[in-house]
Structure 1
Amino acid sequence: MWSTGTSTSPTSASSAAAFCAFSRDFREEEGYFLPVNEIIRRAKEAQEYGATEVCVQAGLPPQMEGDLYIRLCEAIKEELPDIHVHGFSPEEVLYGSIRSKCTIREYLQGLKDAGVGSLPGTSAEVLDQDLRDIISPGRITVDQWLEVITNAHDLGIPTTSTVMFGHRETNAQIVRHIALLRDIQQQTGGFTEFVPLSFVASEAPMFLQGTVENVRSGPTGMDVIKVHAIARIMLNNWIPNIQASWVKEGSRMSQLLLNAGVNDLGGTLINESISTSAGAMHGQLMRPSEFRSMIREAGRTPAERYTTYGLRRVYSDADEALDPLDLVGDNVEEIFGSYNQLVQMEGYRFEHPRAQRERNAVQPTA
């Protein structure tokens, strides 16, 4: 299965962990901040190509107005009422609640009222506090992550679940992480899928700059296969969907994983910046016809799904009807833009509020 959607990141000006190459604290000249009208324009363009979902990962802008995420969602739903908004990680929900001076539950209710349909269960990395204190000190804690996720489920907001592996974690920590997710699912039933995410080291500060000792350069191919297969064994009766991230793994490994417990390949991702900024070689677009070929070659029947796994369409062996995205040529970046283009656009350059105040305080002399 796969879904058709676009991924938009309104800002890369964020405070994040040593492994997060999307954060621009360590490369401030690449920080950007998209205005709401540009986000809506991109979402409309994606919907015209068949997208049913817009995924919003908004970052943690310094001194952010607390209701920014809520206002952004309201604006998207006002213009595109039928599109599913899959947005705002537990870290962003926590940050929004802090900036708004309200509880996590109150902030989640605000997001739901604004039209958020589901949350990505990212910023989980590995749910082991001792490890998090090494790789992501000062970030969302295990207890805070659990508070966001369980409150979201209780409010009727489904979420994904993830693990980031291939850095400093042990096999035992991965198993305990998966077991904890299983325990949550047994209590809430709110997880739609589990997505193992390979650590991409090439641009991550803790690997590139050596800010954390003994960091691996990512998982081996066997590591990738084992994590997906063990996830299927441990979660099979509770979280039915195990997703391979083709953005992280590429098409060949993702196809192989269809025979190692995986039943979902993620989304088309018409416009993606987070994994791309980390140095991933994939992410800009996977055409529906490519998904169908990968799935059929693995001996499976291709189907397109909605975000929460309702079936949109099942394809027969003889069904080769073209999707609008199938007609996009090799000039993908020219049509949709790219992360590398985005960070060079002066019109979207992010400026820290402190720098804005300092600049405004300097009065021109006569």
Structure 2
Amino acid sequence: MMSKIDEELVERAYNGKTSSEDALLLLDAEPFELFRFADNLRYEAVGDITTYVVNRNINFTNRCIGRCGFCAFKQDEGYILKTEEILAKVEEAYKAGATEVCIQGGLLPKAGLDLYTGILEAVKEEYPSIHIHAFSPMEVYHAARTSDLSVKHVLRELKKSGLGTMPGTAAEILCDHVRKELCPGKLLTAEWVDVVTSAHKTGIRTTATMMYGHIESWQDRIEHMMVVRDVQKETKGITEFVPLPFMPYNNPIGKKMIEQGRYATTGIDDLKVYALSRIIFNKHINNIQASWVKLGKKLAQVALYCGANDLGGTLMEESISTAAGANNGSSISPQELEWMIKGASRIPKQRTTLYEIDNIKKESFGNGPREAGDAVIYS
């Protein structure tokens, strides 16, 4: 174990040039040295502000033709929300002061472009001020394939219909040898990169995620981050990186792990992932989000000392992680998020999806949408 991190490695990290070899070496560092290094980079990038967004998750269907071994959400005889049911959920979010709705769903066999544009247009017609963060790269790829259209055409139509940003989900681990076993039939690494890159070039910014802690190695995790960094170097379109620990319950991959005596990731490994994320993405992606749903509220606080600077959203409802065994809740109030952030000696700020920090009076929460003041973008 390294007692001290090599000075040349430190210099490369400060310059945004951490290599895969550097990242592997950092895994041998004393954990709290690694965490301290990541925390220093976090402070240089964004200071002591920790952000969150007031949002709502809407999963419009849990039916899916996919064969992902990690999924506990899919149901063959599941639900499909009607447009009025989606709008009712948006209205609840709007009245609660949400600035964003995040809309995703399973892959329906005949779901063409019209399904997705129809959802967007219905929401925008009733709630023009709310930001729609919707549809994974897999959903975009599926819409293009089902409608016999190009990905670029689909993205242009989605934007025209009101899509604001896209979640960079369906990434799992961006290594095809892992994807072949983990999510057969899902888009390949190059296809994920193509959809995300095309979205950025269409003017649709995205997040980027990584679901780790199943069948992949540390080398695979690092390769995933390098793929994401290459995309960001080309397009500058990624707003945040979100590491998501795998929930090993109620799904085939998790069942195999538990039979082998392997369970969810350890807290130390989770914190190492956050630290490496900050180090690898330094000078490229400023915002590293800690998922309180996946980590739990207390470990999410600790992650703020290991490179993270954002705690995600209020969600209002969360189905996918809960189905896979997450037991940390499916909703949180802005007040509790701010209490968590202050408890970590950080400065809480509500943000928009695009990391604009608005001058918002928090006492207006629950009284409809807030009026935004001058925004500062630091992503």
TM-score over 0.5 for the alignment? yes
Deviation at residue 212 of structure 1 after TM alignment: 11
Aligned residue in 2 for 1:33: 80
Other-structure match for 1:137: 184
Q: Would the aligned equivalents of 1:6 and 1:46 in 2 still touch at CA under 8 Å? A: yes
Q: CA deviation at 1:174?
A: 0.6
Structure 2: which 5+ runs fail to align?
1-50, 368-379
Partner of residue 216, structure 2? 169
What SS does structure 2 have at the residue aligned with 1:81?
Answer: coil
- Opposite residue 140 of structure 2, the aligned amino acid is V
Counterpart position of 2:164: 117
Cα distance in 2 for partners of 1:213, 1:15 equals 27
User: In the alignment, does 2:108 pair up with 1:48?
Assistant: no
Q: CA deviation at 1:124?
A: 0.3
The code of the aligned residue for 1:121 comes to G
User: Cα–Cα, structure 1 residues 158 and 213, in superposed 2: closer, same or farther, change >3 Å?
Assistant: farther
Alignment pair present for 1:258 and 2:308: no
Partner amino acid for 1:128?
Answer: C
The correspondence for 1:63, drawn from 103, 110, 113, is 110
CA contact (8 A) 1:13 1:62 kept: no
Secondary structure at the aligned position of 1:217 is classed as coil
Q: Work out whether 1:81 is the aligned partner of 2:128.
A: yes
Q: Which protein has greater RCO, CA pairs closer than 8 Å, 6+ apart?
A: 2
1:233 counterpart residue number: 279
The answer to whether the Cα contact below 8 Å between 2:214 and 2:253 also exists between their aligned partners in 1 is no
Q: Is the 8 A contact 1:194 1:239 kept in 2?
A: yes
Match of 2:366 in 1: 324
Structure 1 distance, partners of 2:179, 2:232, is: 22
The corresponding residue for 2:69 is: 18
CA gap 1:178/1:214 in 2 versus in 1, 3 angstroms? farther
Superposed, which structure 2 residues align to 1:1-366 within 5 Å?
1-16=51-66, 17-24=68-75, 28-29=76-77, 31-208=78-255, 210=256, 216-313=262-359, 321=363, 323-324=365-366
Structure 2: which amino acid aligns with 1:242?
A: I
| 2:214–2:257 CA contact under 8 A, matched in 1 | no
Partners of 2:189 and 2:199 in 1: CA distance:
15
Q: State the one-letter code of the partner of 1:222.
A: I
Q: Provide the C-alpha distance between the structure 1 equivalents of 2:124 and 2:364, rounded to a whole number of angstroms.
A: 28
Note if contact 1:301-1:314 (Cα within 8 Å) is conserved in structure 2.
Answer: no
Contact 2:104–2:134 at 8 Å: present in 1 too? yes
C-alpha displacement at 1:282, in angstroms? 2.8
Aligned CA distance change for structure 1 residues 7 and 20 (closer, same or farther; 3 Å): same
Deviations 1:248-268 (A, max 9, x none): 111101011011100000000
TM-score, structure 1 as length reference: 0.83
CA positional deviation for 1:321: 3.9
Contact 1:198/1:219, CA 8 A, preserved across alignment: yes
Structure 1: which amino acid aligns with 2:248? Answer: A
Tell me the amino acid that sits aligned with residue 136 of structure 2. Answer: S
Please state how far the C-alpha of 1:215 moved relative to its aligned partner.
9.1
Normalised by the length of structure 2, the TM-score is 0.80
Give the counterpart letter for 1:92 in structure 2.
E
For 1:297, give the aligned amino acid.
Answer: G
Aligned-CA RMSD value: 1.9
Can you list the C-alpha shifts for 1:69-116, whole angstroms capped at 9, x where unaligned?
111111111111000000000110000001111001110111100110
**Cα pair 1:5 1:46 within 8 Å, conserved:** yes
Q: Which amino acid aligns with 1:127?
A: L
Residues 154, 322 of structure 1: alpha-carbon distance in 2 compared, 3 angstrom cutoff: closer
Contact 1:275 1:283 in 2 (8 A): no
Q: CA deviation at 1:219?
A: 1.2
Cα deviations by residue, 1:234-278 (Å, 9 ceiling, x for unpaired): 102110000001111111010110111000000000122121222
1:62 CA displacement: 2.0
Aligned mates of 1:314, 1:231 — CA distance in 2: 30
Alpha-carbon spacing, 1:189–1:102, altered in 2? closer, same or farther (3 Å): same
CA contact (8 A) 1:134 1:212 kept: no
Aligned 8 A contact 1:185 1:239 in 2: yes
Aligned length: 316
Partner SS for 1:266: strand
Give structure 1 stretches of 5+ with no counterpart.
Answer: 326-366
The secondary structure found in structure 1 opposite 2:52 is coil
